[in-house]
Chain A
Amino acid sequence: MGWNILGGDMSKAKGRSKMKKTKIKIDYTKCGDKGGIDPRECTICLKVCDPCVFLMHSVIGAEEEDPNDPQVWRITAVWPSVCMRCMACVEACPEQAITVKW
């Protein structure tokens, strides 16, 4: 909370300052390196999230044959403070892997 995607401290805006932290979780058994689908084949959450809360990245420490061409990927909700709570990601995820709570 507190930061507008276009910049500027929004904490003085009424209502916003009292809002709780947004918690966004990805279930990696459904999407990612713990048995889920490869997010690179989907990318839907990245596309539907207007403020770009999600990051698609290779998994640190995964065993890779070619470090220039990593094959183990997952999604992390890296910028939860800019989440608009629109729920587009939760609705669009074909694996029901995303939860958004506050």
Chain B
Amino acid sequence: MCQWCMKHGAGKKWYLNSKNYFADQIAPENEMREYLEEQWKNMENLFIRKIKGFSSVGLGYKMKMPIIGRVLRAAAEGMIHSEKQHRNPVRADGHFGQAIPLEEAKLIMSELAAEPIIENYCLCRYMQRGTKECCCINFGVLSEIIEKIPRYIPKDRVVRIDRETAMERLEEHNKKGYIASVWFQPVPYINAICSCESPECGGLRLRTSFDLNAFYKAEYIIQLDQDKCQGCKQCVSMCQFGALRYIPSQKRVIVDYDKCFGCGVCRHACNNDALKLIPREEFPGWDGTY
């Protein structure tokens, strides 16, 4: 379990603690609404907005600068993980997520997510790839806010969905190779399960390109049964992080555990039962590496 489980998990993983799904138990409802409205109206501006003279444009170069780079990193992570009372919604303070396997995404949809549940266009894919793809599941107070923002709402389909449909949709996305992820927004309120693609996803961008913890690796990590692997290579194209590679000399795949996010989507491709997810804490070398 990660630091957020310790803080907000009540003995469980943070995203399995039912209390985190009720906005009114976390903050007065009007405050929560105001924050989320401001955040979502402005979401595509998140990375270009200057706050205290600093925007994320060219972040990679800025973080390479001595001293300033370190100050920036600390400031950025401070904002991402902020639990202060007056957080800045246009910087999405306190908004970050974690990869989860499909099984847990479905569990959240069946038992924990607050209603109403909606499926809307992925804003990351829109702002970074210009594509509208309906694959983000939001729930509770946030649904009612997103429904009012035309660019995220498909006109040709039902936006509010039931728990069953949400679970089916998550499975569809996951089997395509999109990673299920669950989000604090703002911490400790949980109101979204996304089906992410890298490098479009804003959270994954901050993590994979700049090593900022806006997106944590899952509580799990992949385990390959070398004897069962037939070397069919099917799994390799499923992994968004390049953690799997086929080596001709051994006629099987090898795993780069450092790159594995534990999303589990590679499992869908394997017909030989060679890939399993195991809890990260049971993998000696990778315990605690979220």
B interface, CB within 8 angstroms of A: 41-42, 44-45, 47-49, 56-61, 64, 126-131, 148-151, 198-200, 205, 207-211, 241-242, 259
Kindly list 6 other residue pairs between chains A and B, CB separation below 8 angstroms, not including A56-B44, A81-B61. Answer: A1-B60, A3-B210, A7-B241, A52-B205, A55-B48, A77-B57
Chain A residues within CB distance 8 Å of chain B: 1-7, 11, 21, 40, 43-44, 46-47, 51-52, 54-58, 60, 67-69, 76-82
Which of A3, A78, A80 is the most central at the interface, judged by chain B CB atoms within 10 Å of its CB?
A78
Measured between beta carbons, the chain B residues less than 8 angstroms from A21 are: 58, 61
Q: Shortest CB–CB separation between residue A36 and chain B, in angstroms? A: 16
Q: How far is the CA of A97 from the CA of B209 in the complex (A)?
A: 26
- Chain B residues closer than 8 Å to A5, beta-carbon distance: 199, 208-209
Bound state CA distance, A69 and B153, in angstroms? 11
Shortest C-beta distance, B24 to chain A (Å), equals 24
How distant is A9 from chain B, measured CB to nearest CB, in Å? Answer: 8
Pick the residue among B47, B131, B259 that contacts A55 (CB under 8 A).
B47
Kindly provide the distance from the CB of A56 to the nearest chain B CB, expressed in whole angstroms: 5
B128: which A residues are within 8 A, CB to CB? Answer: 46, 52, 54-56
**The 10 nearest A-B residue pairs measured at CB:** A81-B60, A43-B130, A46-B130, A57-B44, A7-B208, A52-B199, A52-B128, A3-B60, A3-B209, A69-B150
Given known A2-B60, A43-B130, A69-B150, contact A82–B209 (CB-CB < 8 A)? yes
**Contacting residue for A52 out of B42, B151, B200, B242, CB 8 A:** B200
- Which residues from chain B contact A46 at a C-beta distance below 8 Å? 128-131
Q: For residue B288, give the distance in angstroms from its CB to the closest CB of chain A.
A: 18
* Bound CA–CA A52/B59 (angstroms): 14
The answer on a CB contact under 8 Å between A76 and B48 is yes
Once the chains are docked, how many angstroms separate the CA of A58 from the CA of B259? 34
Of chain B, the residue at the smallest CB distance from A39 is B130
Cβ–Cβ contact A58 & B129, under 8 A:
no
Is the Cβ of B150 less than 8 Å from the Cβ of A68? yes
- Collect the chain A residues with CB atoms within 8 Å of residue B59's CB: 79, 81
Chain A residues contacting B61 (CB-CB under 8 Å) are: 1, 21, 80-81
Assess the A6–B259 pair: CB atoms within 8 A. Answer: yes
Complex interface: chain B residues within 8 A of A3 (CB) = 60, 209-210
- B149 interface neighbour in A47, A69, A77, A82, Cβ under 8 Å: A69
A2, A40, A76: the one within 8 Å of B64 (CB): A2
Q: CB distance A60 to B47 under 8 Å?
A: no
Instruction: Tell me if A6 and B129 are in contact (CB < 8 A).
Output: no
Q: Do B48 and A60 touch across chains, with their CB atoms under 8 A apart?
A: yes
Docked-complex contact A7 and B211, CB < 8 angstroms: yes
Choose one: A1, A43, A52, A78; the contact of B57 (CB below 8 Å). Answer: A78
Known: A3-B209, A7-B259. A56 touches B126 (CB 8 A): yes
**Is the beta-carbon distance between A78 and B44 smaller than 8 angstroms?**
no
Q: Decide yes or no: A78 and B199 within 8 Å by CB, A7-B259, A68-B41, A69-B150 being known contacts.
A: no
